[in-house]
Structure 1
Amino acid sequence: MRLVAWQPDDLLRRLDDVVTVYGEAMGYRPELLQTRRGYIGSHVRRPGFRAVATLTTEGRVAGFGYGYTSAAGQWWHDQVRYALGEDSRRQWLTDCFEVVELHVRPAAQGHGVGARQLRALLAMAKGKTVLLSTPEADEQASRAWRLYRRYGFDDVLRDFYFPGDERAFAVLGRELPLVERPLEDASGAAGA
């Protein structure tokens, strides 16, 4: 598999594949996916848009991720803004990159694809902070939670409900840039 940076038109050309991966990863019904298709297609023109994709050797989309500069007037930004106090708004939303989607086909999960996509996306991100939302889950059982915690994402909001969704979400954030920490070997010593 290879990780590639996508321009807006690259994502639009592969929109059917992206929506399929999204549906498989999230377990969503087909009728919901048509709505998401429209949202995803409109996101590519937002300021600061960055995208990555993981392609198999056959060119199939195994995973993707994208985000953009979070700003007033965007649905997600406004929902989170209204839930935060003034100090938190200044801290998290003043110069923020929003990770909008980050998904991996279930068959490709557990092989580091999501981690590579997240690292690449954060390396391209512009801003002082990055935010994302993820369904509340047992943190120990969820691969997504473990991934976000491993990359230093902290709680910004917990048990948050977006209008139209019955599930509780967590909004997680971290400062940018992402500084890679040296890997440790089994003895705990930093490797080269």
Structure 2
Amino acid sequence: MRPVDTNADQIPLVVELSAAEFRDRLQEALAIYVAAMGYPRGTEYHRAPMWTEHVQRSGWCGVGAVVPADPSTESDAVDRLVAVAYGYRGAPEQWWHQQVRTGLRHTGWTLDRIDTILDDYFELTELHVHPDAQGHRLGETLLLRLLDRRPERGVLLSTPEVADEDNRAWRLYRRLGFTDVLRHFRFAGDNRPFAVLGRNLPLGRSLSAGL
């Protein structure tokens, strides 16, 4: 892993993850996902094939946060992964893309407006911080790094609906300028309501009326 934009004394360190590194640390990443989402043990086995397939998609990139190992404690100590985020370029053949397009059409969006959103976007697929590492804006650091220098016109994500938008994820997305694209949407096979949020890229550019 290669540390990026971090100070020497900063713990944990934000690192880029190559596809190979992500696959090597897949079980660690999935354990963070299960802990952060409060899912039952064993959920990771169902998600592993999907995450493995995602790595092969066009424009995939990933970042993580690691707590450096203390070499004074164990000679074979390794860095501990405590947060992970990844995404890739959205495309019409992808299930998520198709679901969102259908949802937008059902809410009355015109095809031109839908195309404005879905023709050129980065899908923020996963962003998870282990509960033990939360509360230090680590998720924001990962998200900013992940979206840095992305070539797409915008970024989209889906997140579970929460009463009054009162959790860390919602506060992060609102703080970074994400706005509503689709609310209270139910993806096929999941009864939970989700929100689809988006904003323009790069992050320094203000959000346009089109998104």
**TM-score scaled by length of structure 1:** 0.90
Distance (whole Å) between structure 2 residues aligned to residue 127 and residue 95 of structure 1: 6
| 1:64 partnered with 2:84 | yes
Alignment of 1:149-164 (within 5 A): 149-164=174-189
Question: Secondary structure of the residue that 1:72 maps to in structure 2?
Answer: coil
What is the CA-CA distance between 1:18 and the residue it aligns to?
0.5
Task: Give the corresponding residue for 1:83.
Answer: 103
Note the 1:94-109 alignment, pairs <5 A.
Answer: 94-109=119-134
Once residues 151 and 91 of structure 1 are traced to their aligned partners in structure 2, the CA distance between those partners, rounded to angstroms, is: 21
Q: Give the aligned partner of residue 24 of structure 1.
A: 35
Instruction: Find the counterpart in structure 1 of residue 135 from structure 2.
Output: 110
Query: 2:26 — aligned with what?
Result: 15
2-structure distance, mates of 1:32, 1:112: 26
CA distance 1:159–1:20, change in 2 (3 Å):
same
Give the number of the structure whose alpha-carbon radius of gyration is greater.
Answer: 2
Q: TM-score, normalised by structure 2?
A: 0.82
Tell me which residue corresponds to 2:54.
Answer: 43
Over the aligned positions, Cα root-mean-square deviation in angstroms equals 1.4
> 5+ unaligned residues in a row in structure 2: which ranges?
1-11, 70-78, 207-211
- 2:32/2:83 contact within 8 Å kept: yes
Tell me the SS of whatever aligns to 2:204. Answer: coil
Q: Deviations over 1:7-56 (max 9, x none)?
A: 11110000000110000011112333211111011100100001100001
Task: Spell out the pairing of 1:107-146 with structure 2 (5 A cutoff).
Answer: 107-146=132-171
Name the counterpart of 2:209: none
Q: Secondary structure at the match of 2:42?
A: helix
Give percent identity, aligned residues only.
Answer: 44
CA-CA distance at 1:138 after TM superposition? 2.5
| Equivalent in the alignment of 1:185 | none
1:54 equivalent among 47, 58, 65: 65
Write the distance in 1 (CA, Å) between the matches of 2:56 and 2:139: 24
Q: Which residue number corresponds to residue 170 of structure 1? A: 195
Distance 1:104 1:88 in 2: 34
Aligned length: 181
Distance 2:205 2:152 in 1: 17
Structure 1 residues 88 and 26: CA distance shift in structure 2, 3 A: farther
CA distance in 1, matches of 2:149, 2:41: 32
What amino acid maps onto 1:112 in structure 2? Answer: R
Query: For the residues of structure 2 that align with 1:40 and 1:124, how far apart are their CA atoms?
Result: 23
Q: Which runs of 4+ in 1 moved over 3 A?
A: none
Partner of 1:148: helix, strand, or coil?
helix
